[in-house]
Amino acid sequence: MKEVQVDGRLKRLWQLSWPAIVEQLLVTMVSYVDTAMVGVLGAAGTAAVSVNAAPLWLGNGLLTGVGVGYSVQLSNAVGAGDDKRAREILRQGVLAVAVVGLVVLLVYQSLAGVLPKWLGTKEDVLPQAVAYLRLYTLASPFTAASFIFSAMLRCMGNTRTPLYFNTAANGLNVLMNFLMIYPTRTASFFGYTLLIPGAGLGAAGAAAASAISLTAAGSAMLVAGIRQGPRFRIHLRECFRPQRDIICQAVYLGLPSAVERATINLGQIATTAMVASLGTVALAANQIATTAEGLCYLPAYGISYAGVALVGQSVGAGSRKEASAYGTLAAKLGFWFTTGTAAVLFLIAPLLTGLFNSDPQVSQLAAQMLRIVVFSEPFFALSIVCAATLRGALDVRFPMVVSLASMWGVRIVLALLMVYGLKLGLAGVWLAMDIDLIVRGILCALRWRSGRWARICGLDRPFSK
């Protein structure tokens, strides 16, 4: 009987996980194509994208926090069978998209001219970096819609819609890259010469292409979110007045997640500045290795989306047994899946990085960084999945504290020591990251195993199932 229950849970977990894993895989593949297409322009083009990665991650971290704040509430309402409450949360999510998206847009546009310079961008790269950030962030309101409503859809158990829309948007991104990055050129196919139009905008063209695809994905996700069948469909004629209780709970749930992401991303900004001081080759190699690394941990993110949905719904239904079972199963699946992808990445690292840049010095250095980081990836997967399931059980502060302590107390301190003290160069940054990810994964896994989350979400009471 117990084996039947485990098989049933695993089947349900996998049904929700695989679309999210495929989605993450496609996003990563498009990111690879993006990096490779810009990499053809040389180290300067790659560096222009690289120096903006951390500031963009910082904004995405804020949007992730907002998504957590509303999606966890939504999963609880769905688990409890409270459709009226679910529709109220969806309406408040629309308001959040409008407000947060506009704020993020204004902040990025006001800082786009100076932020790359603050991060130590070289003079030959600076114009491209500024143009990239300014164009990319024009889509911020639609990026907000994509982040917030994809999280809400997944927590309702709908992981396929984000897959379909993001797949279409990624295909659009690749097409627009061809048209925006390169100048007009000719190509021969089966003896025929074709004229391929192009804007020749370089790194700025890659940003414009991304902005167009993000706008398409965000618009589609918002429409899908407000038209989720008869149970959860909402209408624009309905009242969208702010509801204090939902907003306050969203802040309680989402703020620690946003701070956690901000902590990580500010640390990444600090390390980016550190890497930038090592030169353009190191900065370009860092960007390529960071992009390629996503191949390792992307299954963990897909599994975490399913984990937070199932744990959140179990909490809403008042079942500690189901919440515990789903959280533990998700952690094991994420760890072993990522162990397999890490082994593959170790073997193909030189081949993979060689696809991204025409400079052999850059690709060789990036491959070395990948082979350093693969040993920590299974523990990174643990931190991703366990942090998500803890949030589903309303234990939102612990992942924040762990990220803060590990990023600034472990990674930054060790990176400074290894780069400037031991003179290990870029390898010092990645070795420090290795240790940080291992520490974070072990602590999050121990927290889930301790069961303290049950007290926080009220499942330690005698009447809980």
Q: What is the pLDDT of residues 45-72, one digit of tens each?
A: 777 777 787 788 778 888 888 999 999 9
| 189, β-bridge pairs | 192
Radius of gyration of the chain (CA): 22
Residue in the structure block whose two tokens are 């209780």: 245
Evaluate whether 199 touches 180 at the Cβ level (below 8 Å): yes
Say what the pTM is: 0.81
DSSP per-residue letters across 318-371 = T-HHHHHHHHHHHHHHHHHHHHHHHHHHHHHHHHHHHTT-S-HHHHHHHHHHHH
In angstroms, the Cα distances linking 452 to 258, 311, 391 are 22, 14, 12
pLDDT of residue 4: 53
Phi–psi pair at 423, nearest 5 degrees: 60, 45
What b/e sequence results for 316-328 when a residue is b if at least 16 CB atoms lie within 10 Å of its CB, and e otherwise? bebbbebbbbbbb
Q: What is the pLDDT of residues 106-153, one digit of tens each?
A: 999 999 888 888 877 778 788 888 988 999 999 999 999 999 999 899
| 188, β-bridge pairs | 193
| 187, β-bridge pairs | 194
Identify the segments of the chain with pLDDT beneath 50. 1, 462-463
**3-state secondary structure at position 198:** strand
Say which DSSP state 121 is in: -
pLDDT of residue 35: 65
Q: Which residues have a Cβ under 8 Å from the Cβ of 272 and sit 6 or more positions away? A: 50, 51, 53, 54, 119, 283, 286
Residue in the structure block whose two tokens are 């990499």: 39
What kind and span of H or E run contains 199? strand 192-199
CA 418 to CA 449: how far, in whole Å? 33
Q: What is the pLDDT of residues 145-184, one digit of tens each?
A: 999 999 899 888 888 898 899 889 888 988 888 888 888 8
Phi–psi pair at 164, nearest 5 degrees: -65, -50
Residue in the structure block whose two tokens are 């965000």: 218
DSSP per-residue letters across 414-451 = HHHIIIIIS--THHHHHHHHHHHHHHHHHHHHHHHHHT
Evaluate whether 20 touches 162 at the Cβ level (below 8 Å): yes
Q: Residue 171 carries which side chain, given as an amino acid letter?
A: G
Q: Which residues have a Cβ under 8 Å from the Cβ of 152 and sit 6 or more positions away? A: 67, 70, 71, 74, 89, 90, 93, 225
Report how far Cα 115 is from the mean position of its chain's Cα atoms: 21
CA 172 to CA 383: how far, in whole Å? 32
Phi–psi pair at 238, nearest 5 degrees: -75, 165
Alpha helices in 112-202 (DSSP H): 115-118, 126-136, 140-155, 160-180
Token pair of 66 as six digits: 């907002």
Neighbours of 29 (CB within 10 A): 15
Nearest to 465 by CA among 312, 324, 310, 309: 324
pLDDT of residue 144: 93
User: From its phi and psi, is residue 191 left (phi > 0), alpha (psi between -120 and 50) or beta?
Assistant: left
CA 159 to CA 300: how far, in whole Å? 15
pLDDT of residue 66: 92
Evaluate whether 304 touches 384 at the Cβ level (below 8 Å): yes
Neighbours of 236 (CB within 10 A): 8
What dihedral angle (degrees, nearest 10) is formed by the CA atoms of 395, 400, 401, 406?
130
Evaluate whether 289 touches 369 at the Cβ level (below 8 Å): yes
Evaluate whether 157 touches 125 at the Cβ level (below 8 Å): no
